[in-house]
Structure 1
Amino acid sequence: MNNWPKFLPFPASWGKGFALSSGFWLIVSFLLPGYYYYYYRFSTAYWYIIRNSDSKGAIAFAWLCQIPLFAFYHWGLTKVAEWVEIRRHNQQPTVTVSAWLHWREGIIAFLMLPAAIVMGIPAIAFLMLPLRDSSSRIVALIIGTAIASAYLYHFRFAKLLKIILKFLWIFYANLLKIFELLLVPTLTGTPFFLLTVATTEIVPQKLLPLTTFLLVISVFLSGIVGYAALQYWSAHLVNWAAKWWPTDFPGNSRIQARKAWKHNKTAASQSFVRHTTSWHLAANDTTYLIYFNLSAIVLGAIAIRLFGDPSKWSETGKEMLGCVVALVWVAQWHFWGWRREVEIASGEPSAKKRSPNRNLPAPDPVAVELNQLAAELGDVRMKPVRKPPSATKKPKSQQAQWYVFRSGKAEGPYTKRQLRDVQQITDRTKVRAGEAEWQRAGEIPELAQFLTQKK
């Protein structure tokens, strides 16, 4: 494939493109005539009397069908590849394909199909120009969409989708966190607010400022308790999810890393009142709630200064101001609040607060004792009691940080040399460094380059 033209999709991309296009348009064509075949009693006019509502249902159903269809395609091709490998090498394949990889192909096809149809409109229109009958138009739809799908597969459109979805997930996760910070004090402070409203007729007018102050303090303190309770039970939820989450499914390494945090470890052995990390996290949430309110007040004051009376603002102006405030809140939490929360929950201080001597190796007790004897004998020459970090740090190729996915579980850690000499991994063996995501060894440049070296 070295001489294959760069802008021409590979045969595998063409196969995926035609499978996606034909699977979608054939299902649509079968569903719509099937409905009108019975409704119009063998009438041939149903092709021209398709109502918009019925076509939407058929298109939505055909679109959803691509997920199980492509999962089945990938499963079948995997079984064929395993059978060929067994026949060729007379042994079972060393790498097992997880169920998630099958469903991932279906999800990629599901997300790629709308883009393929939109990008295939020019080809579809060009192919439909000389056609008159409906059957030929279905063929034109299939070919036009297949061409666009093949190029999308060829240029790794799935990676772009992954980047976009990851960005959207980070954005919406921060929005959900901000919504949580705003909602918890509202829920916990509602009883105090209702109590204040109920007692307004009883409390004298002179005590109204004091009542308002007590209401604010009560809402503030109840919000802290609500934050702490939410953090405490979220630790239990993560620990419970880590027990049944499949090893080969995405997010498993992240859940296992969260389970190893100090916050999650101590939640299993300490009560809610004594769980200090939950209260520290609640204080962090409260701090950023104050920051959010202050930033909203500042932005509102700037808007009033620039645009005048808020009552005269248009709905568009108010929505734009709300979007700006939300973006500022997201930025505050993403760049400062979340990092502080990870630092508290994991129990590891940030790198900026670490002492410069923290990473130095421990002193050699023999060298310390020899220096003491030399000092007693009057010798002022002292030997270094610490080895330089460069002498104590192992080369990267000798660090045992690699794990191998074998028989449905992770084995390791191993060094790179052990991966090659002991585990005898191939380019298709699944490996990972530390808590990273599983990848094939051939997809990791650092590991692939090491494996090509001679013993």
Structure 2
Amino acid sequence: MKSVPIVAIMNNWPKFLPYPASWAKGFALSIGFWLIIWVLLPRYYYYYYRFNTAYWRSISNSDFEGAIVFAWLCQIPLFAFYHWGLSKFAEWVEIRRHSHSPPTATVSAWLHWREGIIAFATLPAAIVMGIPAIALFMVPMGNSSGEIVALILGSAIASTYLYHFRFAKLIKILVKFLGILYSYLLKILEILFVPILTGTPFFLLTIVTAEMVPIKLLPLTTFLLVVCVFWSGIVGYAVWHHWSAHLLNWAATWWPADSPGYSHIQARKSWKHNQTAASQSFVRHTTSWHLAANDATYLIYFNLIAIVFGAIGYRLFGEPSEWLKAEEQILGYIVALVWVVLWHFWGSRREVDIARGQPSVKTSAKRRSSNTNLSDPDPVEVELNQLAAELGNTRMRPVRKSTSPPQKRSSPTKKPKPEQAQWYVFRSGKAEGPYTKKQLQDVQKITDRTKVRLGEAEWQRAGEIPELATYLTHK
């Protein structure tokens, strides 16, 4: 009887049925959580499951919330330990099968702890989604031991399907979106608070000298105060950008290569703003001053938007002193949302272009358009002008455009750029690479079940990536 290859079995696996690895993770997550609660609160589960006064009193008297939180937090080190143990076991199996020394490169600690964080984020959704299954298993159960089994089975099934449909990837997308929104809000707060901090000495000086200034000079002193606060804010922005460049360059020297954010930090280090910060002083660092001017321009937009929405609120709700708390909050949320949108579509893009040292897109587009619209001059007019110059005539004939269509210049054929090796393969509990797509087929002989990734992206099955379809090895 011939043994069926594992690859063929996995290829024919039903799409709606989770893989064995997902079942193992789901049951490990559910068993670890509910057993910790069962050990911490035995009185709760040994009590007969019925809705009466004594039952609710036993729950209220016990530290039920503390036990849940403790059991929830325990899943992070537990699943990190599980992942570490499985990677060591896979490494041991690989050594026994091929009889070679253990690999020098080991799985990074971040990959172990990432599994714990994924389990921590998956557990609440699994319990909520597993309520129907828990209730179904509760029906035939009549004692406390049966109830804990029902809780384990219901949440295990739900967490298994969450692992199967990559619930962690959805959480990562949401966290990334919230992180971008949070960073935008921090940037807006920075733009607002820097002028306040740098302008505080001028405010204090104005308060001290207010009684000495005549009333007729009050408009002039107010104008000087605004100008001083504005320019001090620009200096504060420049100091902030120059200091942040040094801070990021320092972080790039020790940031672990396998940790999240490593590729982003290294990319930021290669920007012109960060490269020139180490060799130029604060006064001569032009990109910091350009970034400060960008922030100051955006600060002006802030004030204009606030004035416009203040006028709209005055027309809708009357005097500001008469506004209700709900009206103030709604108007504030709208202003903050407009600020974030404006920074997303204008401010942040302009800031990145300045920090990278890229030229303005509009200027380069205008230069390209002005050069492409020029047509070749008429050769007859050019010959007549040259002849007139040789005869001593200083009056030239105007060169008119040629009536014949311009000929296309033959451009030399460009050689295709060689593909960069940026694909990694997960083998024997570690990442191997980088490889090109051709090397994935010739060297690694990947199949549709092989785990690969592009750069610092998430690990995926090679069969799920369309661009690798022609490079798969079919066994």
Same fold (TM over 0.5): yes
Of 4, 17, 20, the match for 2:29: 20
Cα shift at 1:263: 0.4
Q: CA RMSD in A?
A: 3.4
Distance of aligned partners of 1:443 and 1:309 in 2 relative to their CA distance in 1, 3 Å threshold:
farther
Distance of aligned partners of 1:77 and 1:409 in 2 relative to their CA distance in 1, 3 Å threshold:
closer
* Residue identity in the other structure for 2:332: G
Q: Which residue of 1 aligns with 2:411?
A: 387
Give the alignment of 1:58-69 within 5 angstroms: 58-69=67-78
Q: Residue by residue, what CA displacement relative to the aligned partner does 1:92-147 show, whole Å, maximum 9, x if unpaired?
A: 56974322111111111111111111111222223223434333222221111111
Given that 1:25 and 1:141 are in contact with CA atoms closer than 8 Å, whether structure 2 keeps it comes out as: yes
Q: Residue by residue, what CA displacement relative to the aligned partner does 1:346-404 show, whole Å, maximum 9, x if unpaired?
A: 1122555435769x9xxxxxxxxxxxxxxxxxxxxxx998734xx21406xx3335365
Q: Which residue of 2 aligns with 1:42?
A: none
Cα shift at 1:27: 1.1
TM-score by length of 2: 0.78
Alpha-carbon distance in 2 for matches of 1:138, 1:438:
35
Q: Which residue of 2 aligns with 1:269?
A: 279
Give the alignment of 1:120-159 within 5 angstroms: 120-159=130-169
Given that 2:199 and 2:229 are in contact with CA atoms closer than 8 Å, whether structure 1 keeps it comes out as: yes
* Partner-residue secondary structure (3-state), 1:51: helix
Q: Which residue of 2 aligns with 1:285?
A: 295
Given that 1:94 and 1:429 are in contact with CA atoms closer than 8 Å, whether structure 2 keeps it comes out as: no
Q: Residue by residue, what CA displacement relative to the aligned partner does 1:202-240 show, whole Å, maximum 9, x if unpaired?
A: 222222112211111111111111111110010011101
Matched, 1:449 2:458: no
Given that 1:95 and 1:406 are in contact with CA atoms closer than 8 Å, whether structure 2 keeps it comes out as: no
Give the alignment of 1:175-186 within 5 angstroms: 175-186=185-196
Cα shift at 1:452: 3.3
Given that 1:441 and 1:447 are in contact with CA atoms closer than 8 Å, whether structure 2 keeps it comes out as: no
Matched, 1:79 2:99: no
Matched, 1:51 2:60: yes
Q: Residue by residue, what CA displacement relative to the aligned partner does 1:157-200 show, whole Å, maximum 9, x if unpaired?
A: 11111111111111111011101111111111111111111221
Matched, 1:250 2:232: no
Q: Which residue of 2 aligns with 1:109?
A: 119
Given that 1:247 and 1:409 are in contact with CA atoms closer than 8 Å, whether structure 2 keeps it comes out as: no
Alpha-carbon distance in 2 for matches of 1:225, 1:181:
12
Greater Rg by CA: 2
Distance of aligned partners of 1:132 and 1:452 in 2 relative to their CA distance in 1, 3 Å threshold:
closer
Distance of aligned partners of 1:329 and 1:443 in 2 relative to their CA distance in 1, 3 Å threshold:
farther
Cα shift at 1:415: 5.1
Q: Which residue of 2 aligns with 1:310?
A: 320
Any gaps of 5 or more consecutive residues in structure 2? 1-9, 47-53, 372-406
TM-score by length of 1: 0.82
Cα shift at 1:307: 3.5
Of 420, 423, 430, the match for 1:400: 420
Any gaps of 5 or more consecutive residues in structure 1? 38-44, 361-382
Distance of aligned partners of 1:147 and 1:314 in 2 relative to their CA distance in 1, 3 Å threshold:
same
* Partner-residue secondary structure (3-state), 2:41: helix
* Partner-residue secondary structure (3-state), 1:392: coil
Give the alignment of 1:227-246 within 5 angstroms: 227-246=237-256
Given that 2:195 and 2:230 are in contact with CA atoms closer than 8 Å, whether structure 1 keeps it comes out as: yes
Distance of aligned partners of 1:400 and 1:144 in 2 relative to their CA distance in 1, 3 Å threshold:
closer
* Residue identity in the other structure for 2:217: L
Distance of aligned partners of 1:320 and 1:107 in 2 relative to their CA distance in 1, 3 Å threshold:
same
* Residue identity in the other structure for 1:122: P
Alpha-carbon distance in 2 for matches of 1:245, 1:46:
52
Overall identity of the aligned pairs, in %? 64
Aligned length: 416
Cα shift at 1:310: 3.1
Distance of aligned partners of 1:63 and 1:293 in 2 relative to their CA distance in 1, 3 Å threshold:
same
Give the alignment of 1:331-350 within 5 angstroms: 331-349=341-359
